[in-house]
Amino acid sequence: MDTRRRPGASRAHRSLRACGTLVAVAALLVSACSAGSSTSSASPAGAGALRALPEVTPSELTSYYGQRPTWRSCGAPGFECATVKAPLDYAQPAKGDIRLAVSRKKATGPGKRLGSLLVNPGGPGGSAVDYLEAYAGIGYPAKVRARYDMVAVDPRGVAGSEPVECLTGRRMDAYTQTDTTPDDARETTELVDAFKEFAEGCGQRSANLLRHVSTVETARDMDLVRAVLGDDKLTYVGASYGTFLGATYAGLYPERVGRLVLDGALDPSLSARQLNQDQTAGFETAFQSFAKDCVREPDCPLGGTKTSPDQVGRNLKAFFRQLDSAPVDAGDKDGRKVGEALATTGVIAAMYDEGAWPQLREALTMAMQDKDGAGLLALSDSYYDRDADGQYANLMFANAAVNCLDLPAAFASPAEVEAGLPAFEKASPVFGVGLAWASLNCAYWPVKATGEAHRIEAKGSAPIVVVGTTRDPATPYPWAQALASQLSSARLLTYDGDGHTAYGRGSACIDSAINLYLIEGTPPQNGKRCSAT
């Protein structure tokens, strides 16, 4: 799945770990649901806990931990960039290095500097460096930026840190248009072939790297960067998949936990199939909220004021079926038309942030009434991180690489998907079929998964703040409850509202609680709730 943080439709319409964004989204692991929509928030029986690493840094890693990076001006004014080396394989450091891109914006004052604050927007596959320079380094509360050096590290395999590569832009265009709701054996074969082509492309272009982009390895990189920056403990704000990365860090290095905020949390104890099914339910919950909002507006193309949310969903699904057989033009210079796959991605992209709902209404009106798919195509392109020249960032490549390494595949064959369809359709009548089939992609991955579902307890760590949004589409609220119940020192902070993640999205209650924790070290009371009003 794709669980990127989306800071707001007007700022950046992207960010998370998705369930398989249609073909691409399927690989993600954790993304978002709302309260009551998750099919299971309990840890599976017998799931082991992540074990902490030894407190003493191994001698073979001493040279890495002792680095002193060379900083240079980069990006917007006030930002500095550097490169930090990490071992490609922590088990065998002599096998070679990987270079990590790091960016920072120093504390502005007034007030005593508190150290470094690392941020991660999610994914897996989201560029933390881009997020810092476009949003966090200038948009985080001034009182936080005054006291902390704002720092970002692109995870290994992502953006500036030796990115995973898989398909050309032209082949990625074809991939994103592949039908993820196959109607017969021929269409099933076409979908499987698309997954295989994607996996083979990654295997050919990034063979060595694919074995070393796990979340555990990236968490170890974060500890190395912590030391290089001169911080005794890690202070960190992670959103969406970034919560899994932060929780993994806490599990590996509980004694090095400073102030950790995990916003839009994942449940690490769930299998890939359960995560994708839960996320499917989360998108349905978000869609129900959108449907209720839509019919109150005079320009809603899916129904009037008396139309129920379920009927709105049936109307949208009927429109998707029309696009399946008759895609609409979008005025695209590369000749792409909007069929069911791209339209579904566009709708899902708008579920991350309620601020995008008016844009979605307009895009659906254009497509349904004017046979113009340009609006839906723009939403879909923002989700896939495709630029106007037809080039894709490596977001979806890294997304699949990390997800397929972290957990065994959700489904091993088309037959397994077909058997699982009823559960996914129950989770979401609108999106269930497509997201179930999208969850098949890791079945053909060229590298065997090295991780497995596990609890994270981080016994002995300082208090960790876990944030959950009740109607989150990508990371269902029950996941936050589950992670908070696993972490020995967790404080659960709840936002009763819509959208993906909560910090910095307009709730003064949420923001003040997190700001107080980051600046004064005072965590919110466990169970504190904030409402949207």
- Which pLDDT band holds residue 8 (cuts at 50, 70, 90)? very low
CA dihedral 418, 420, 423, 428 (to 10 degrees): -60
Residue 532 has what pLDDT?
78
The secondary structure element, H or E, covering residue 378 is helix 374-384
> Is 38's pLDDT higher than 50?
no
5: confidence class by pLDDT, cuts 50, 70, 90: low
Predicted confidence band at 1 (pLDDT cuts at 50, 70, 90)? Answer: low
Q: How far is CA 177 from the centre of its chain?
A: 21
Token digits of residue 161: 């840190």
Q: Read off the tokens for 412.
A: 């091993």
Span 286-293, average pLDDT: 97
End-to-end CA gap in the chain: 30
CB 5 within 8 A of CB 501: yes
Question: Under 8 Å CB-to-CB from 25, ≥6 apart: which residues?
Answer: 1, 2, 18, 19, 345, 348, 383, 435, 438
pLDDT value of position 76? 86
d(CA 224, CA 283): 36
β-strands 464-471, 490-498 pairing: parallel
The predicted structure's pLDDT at residue 323: 98
Going by C-alpha positions, the residue among 261, 273, 219, 253 that lies closest to residue 480 is 261
Closest CA to 400 of 120, 18, 90, 32: 18
Examine the pLDDT at 31 and tell me if it is beyond 90: no
pLDDT at 6 over 50: no
pLDDT at 3 over 80: no
Question: What is the rounded distance in angstroms from the CA atom of residue 21 to the CA atom of residue 525?
Answer: 36
Over residues 461-513, the pLDDT tens digits come to 999 999 999 999 999 999 999 999 999 999 999 999 999 999 999 999 999 99
Task: State whether the Cα torsion 428-430-431-436 is positive or negative.
Answer: positive
Identify the band that residue 373 occupies on the pLDDT scale cut at 50, 70 and 90. Answer: very high
Contacts of 414 (CB under 8 A, 6+ apart): 188, 192, 440
Contacts of 107 (CB under 8 A, 6+ apart): 113, 114, 145, 146, 147, 148, 149
Order the strands of the 16-17 sheet from edge to edge: 16-17, 2-4, 122-123
Task: Give the phi and the psi of residue 237 in degrees, each rounded to 5.
Answer: -120, 115
Q: What is the mean pLDDT of residues 100-121?
A: 97
> Which tens digits make up the pLDDT trace of 313-339?
999 999 999 999 999 999 999 999 999
CB 263 within 8 A of CB 468: no
Report the mean per-residue pLDDT for the chain.
92
How many other C-beta atoms lie within 10 A of the C-beta of residue 217?
Answer: 24
For residue 490, the SS3 value is: strand
Give yes or no for a cis peptide into 422 (omega within 30° of 0): no
Q: What is the pLDDT of residues 155-192, one digit of tens each?
A: 999 999 999 999 999 999 999 999 999 999 999 999 99
Is the Cβ–Cβ distance between 406 and 449 less than 8 Å? yes
At 132-153, the pLDDT tens digits run: 999 999 999 999 999 999 999 9
Element containing residue 419 per DSSP (H, E)? helix 414-427
Which are the catalytic amino acids? Answer: 240, 472, 500
Contacts of residue 371, defined as CB under 8 A and 6 or more positions apart, other chains included, come to 328, 329
CB 465 within 8 A of CB 262: yes
**Running DSSP on this structure, what letter comes out for residue 226?**
H
| CA–CA gap between residue 282 and residue 32 (Å, rounded) | 5
The answer for residues whose C-beta is within 8 angstroms of residue 361's C-beta and 6 or more apart is: 294, 297, 299, 300, 301
pLDDT surpassing 70 at residue 276: yes
The pair of structure tokens assigned to 399 is 């997304």
pLDDT at 198 over 70: yes
Other beta carbons less than 10 A from residue 211's beta carbon: 17
Once rounded to an integer, what is the mean pLDDT over residues 343-366? 97
| 359, 362, 363, 368: CA torsion to nearest 10 | 160
| Whole-number percent of the chain with pLDDT over 90 | 90
Q: Reduced to 3 states, what is the DSSP secondary structure of residue 24?
A: helix
> What's the confidence (pLDDT) of residue 75?
84
CB atoms within 10 A of CB 168: 14
How does residue 36 score in pLDDT terms, banded at 50, 70 and 90? very low
Cβ partners under 8 Å of residue 243, min gap 6: 122, 262, 263, 264, 265, 266, 466, 475, 483
- From start to end of 148-266, where are the E strands? 148-153, 234-239, 257-263
* Polymer length of the chain: 533
**pLDDT, tens only, 40-92:** 334 444 568 999 999 999 999 999 999 999 999 998 899 999 999 999 999 99
Pairwise CA distance, residues 265 & 311, whole Å: 31
